[in-house]
A and B are shown apart, each in its own frame.
Chain A
Amino acid sequence: MSKTRTHQESLEAQAQRKEVKRNLLLSTPALIVLICAASGPLLIMVVFSFLTSGDYGGVKWEWSTQAWFQVAFYRDIFDDTVSIADAHLSILWRSVRLSFLTTLTAFVLGFPTAYFIATRPPETRNIWLFLVTIPFWTNLLIRTFAILEIIRNQGVVNSFLLMLGVIDQPLDMLYTDIAILLGMTYVYIPLMILPIYASMERFDFKLVEAAYDLYASRWKVMKRVILPLVKPGVVAGSILVFIPSLGAYVTPRVLGGGKNLMLGNLIELQFGQGRNWPLGAALSLTLLAIVMIALIVYVRSAQKQGTTHGH
């Protein structure tokens, strides 16, 4: 009896080992690409961030922590006093804040949209999904300029409001944080809608009836039944919106003018006009660190909510 049992267990273990091996083999090409394409550049960035900047861009092969120092501090050229690099920190803060707000706005607008699509009859759902993806057909730059056209002082919105007499001065919308927020929400909202829709499509709407039947109000149904079950989609959507927002480059550049920079613009500046590649590399790695910390915190809290739910 016990003998057959151990025999069985070892068979099971063998089967499992084989499967792991096979899966590993299958994923090898992808892993190689990932390692070369992600780790290689990353390694270069790490190395560059510890070098000295060249006079005309590029790097000099001299070890230095100057770049990392510059991320957060500023040394006056004349009297050598050290102060906090306000400019960097405010850009960092703006990036995090705007990305967070973009994610939030995309969720607030995207969740009901996904819900709406998922509750349409199956024949018409594809039409709605198709409409959601239409913005992807045009180039990001063109879409961003289209928004600029809409919100600038002589743009569509202002002209319309002026014509109606609601305002007598054009509203200054362009080159503000609001403009960037608007632009990024517009650009990234499909990335919120699609994963939430994917979760909702698998959601069994009978459960909503069951919850109503058990005296749950609309709000409770949303909070206790729908949200927990479509959470994977919400988590995925939030990550897909937050990460590119944090590194956004085109949108803040066009809609924020030169003055409302975000991290992406600051990094670009170091590799271009700033001619400070090491600082650019250090800033890039800072961005990476922020993304990773944000992800870990977010996923952890999402998991915790999942396991403690209802206890």
Chain B
Amino acid sequence: MENTVAIDVSNVSKIFARGTAQEVKALDDVSVAIFQNEFFTLLGPSGCGKTTLLRLIAGFEHPTFGSIQLDGAEISSLAPYDRPVNTVFQNYALFPHMTVAENIGFGLEMQGRSKTEVETTVSEMLGLVRMETLRDRHIDQISGGQQQRVALARALAPRPKVLLLDEPLSALDLKLRKEMQVELKRLQHETGITFVFVTHDQEEALTMSDRVAVMNNGKILQVDHPHEIYNRPNDRFVADFIGDTNFIRARIIDKDSTRMHLDIGGEKSIQLPTPSDLSANREITLAIRPEQARICGAEDTPIFEGKLAETIYIGTDTHYQIDIGTDSPFVIRVQNASGEVPPLTQGDRVAISIDSAVIQVLRD
């Protein structure tokens, strides 16, 4: 994928009810570049500003500060109908007085395309979302999943440069949702249109996206490929929000150019490669994924020791909760099929080993 920038959001802030008591800073100095042809996901908890950012790109709102460019041209002051950007709304917002085909053709018609062009594109779109047989149904005569497809087809029909999708799958049941995830990926592939997808479901974000932006409190915390987001979170919130993470407070005792020596409490210390910008005596947080820690075998050197507090069997995996003297227990996840499931009982002393390469250093 060549990385040409499609949408360039720079230093955008959006403040609602500015200057009143109800002032809300929905977006706080957000900058992000979305590439052409990519499946880009905005991920974050409720109220973090995902919809606001999407609405700014669509043109329903205008930024309080900052600029938004599409293919190098400033668009932040344009009306929605002047932007080659279409939206799939959360509740679809299909026109209830029109048929499936009329809904899909609406954008084309408004663009002043000829009748035959509208006809052929509508048929093509119906084929793309596999809805040919329902073209003359009214919107209230089709199911939620089918409405979802119509909403997609309607937004794709005018061939926008960017398609915005605001939690389009959240109203669907789990099975349909999985189906539509695959479908969306396929559509993005076949059309080659840039997708900007909003979700608060981390699994959905990781499985579908080329890149993910994790948001919280009106800020973008990290933008990266899913595996980087998962394996190299650069912020405590990101590590916590995506997947399960063990956090350990640590203090830098001393350091040289390549390694630093950390105090992790209880007279224990470890050595890690040094990030350049950390000074001695600083407090940091270490993040460790539960599946990346191991219960010590004979050949390992233990990093922590603790007492087994609980064993939880969840089918594919077993979770060991180990009390290491911190606020919350340290969790280790072991795949049951791996054959490395140690026969431990509650209260046993357990030694934990962690490969220093998988320890993430978070500065707070």
A-side residues, CB < 8 A to B, are: 204, 206-207, 209-217, 220, 224-225, 228-229, 306, 309-310
Contacts and interface: CB of A to CB of B under 8 A. Distances in A.
Nearest to B60: A209
A247 B286 CA distance: 84
A199 to B, nearest CB: 12
Interface of B: 58-60, 79-81, 85-87, 89, 91, 93-99, 102, 106-107, 110-111, 154-155, 158
A212 B154 CA distance: 13
B96 A216 contact: no
A217 B80 CA distance: 10
A210 B81 contact: no
Contacts of A224: 106
B98 A310 contact: yes
Q: Which of A211, A213, A309 has the most CB of B within 10 A?
A: A213
B154 A214 contact: yes
A310 to B, nearest CB: 5
Given A210-B87, A213-B81, A310 B93 contact: no
5 contacts: A212-B81, A213-B59, A213-B60, A217-B81, A310-B98
Given A206-B91, A209-B60, A209-B80, A214 B97 contact: no
Contacts of B99: 310
A210 B93 contact: yes
Contacts of B94: 210
Nearest to A306: B97
Nearest to B90: A206
Contact of A210 (B85, B95, B102, B158): B95
Interface of A is mostly: helix
Most interface-central of A216, A217, A224, A310 (chain B CB within 10 A): A310
Contact of B97 (A206, A213, A217, A229): A229
A138 to B, nearest CB: 39
Nearest to A220: B110
A18 B151 CA distance: 41
B110 A214 contact: yes
Nearest to A228: B97
A124 B58 CA distance: 29
A248 to B, nearest CB: 34
Contacts of B86: 213-214
B58 A213 contact: yes
A215 B118 CA distance: 14
A214 B93 contact: no
Nearest to B81: A215
A214 B106 contact: yes
A145 B89 CA distance: 53
B162 to A, nearest CB: 12
A215 B58 CA distance: 11
Given A210-B95, A211-B106, 17 more contacts: A209-B87, A209-B89, A209-B93, A210-B93, A213-B59, A213-B60, A213-B86, A213-B155, A214-B106, A214-B110, A215-B81, A215-B111, A216-B110, A220-B110, A306-B97, A309-B98, A310-B98
B155 to A, nearest CB: 8
Going nearest first, the 9 A-B pairs with the smallest beta carbon separation are: A214-B107, A210-B93, A215-B110, A212-B80, A206-B93, A216-B110, A215-B81, A310-B102, A228-B97
Nearest to B83: A213
Given A212-B80, A213-B86, A214-B86, A204 B93 contact: yes
A215 B91 contact: no
A132 B80 CA distance: 34
A210 B98 CA distance: 14
A216 B59 CA distance: 13
B96 A229 contact: yes
Contacts of B154: 214
B92 to A, nearest CB: 9
Contacts of A209: 60, 80, 87, 89, 93
Contacts of A214: 81, 86, 106-107, 110, 154-155, 158
B94 to A, nearest CB: 8
A168 B81 CA distance: 51
B196 to A, nearest CB: 14
A207 B95 CA distance: 7
Most interface-central of B89, B94, B106 (chain A CB within 10 A): B106
A224 B80 CA distance: 17
Contacts of B155: 213-214
A215 B98 contact: no
Nearest to A207: B93
B9 to A, nearest CB: 18
A170 B111 CA distance: 53
Nearest to B87: A213
B89 A210 contact: yes
B93 A225 contact: no
B104 to A, nearest CB: 10
A207 B87 CA distance: 12
Contacts of A309: 97-98
A220 B111 CA distance: 11
A292 to B, nearest CB: 28
A25 to B, nearest CB: 31
A215 B95 contact: no
A220 B109 CA distance: 11
Nearest to A217: B81
Contacts of A212: 59-60, 79-81
A228 B60 CA distance: 23
Contacts of A228: 97
B128 to A, nearest CB: 17
Question: Which has the most chain B C-beta neighbours within 10 Å: A214, A224, A225?
Answer: A214
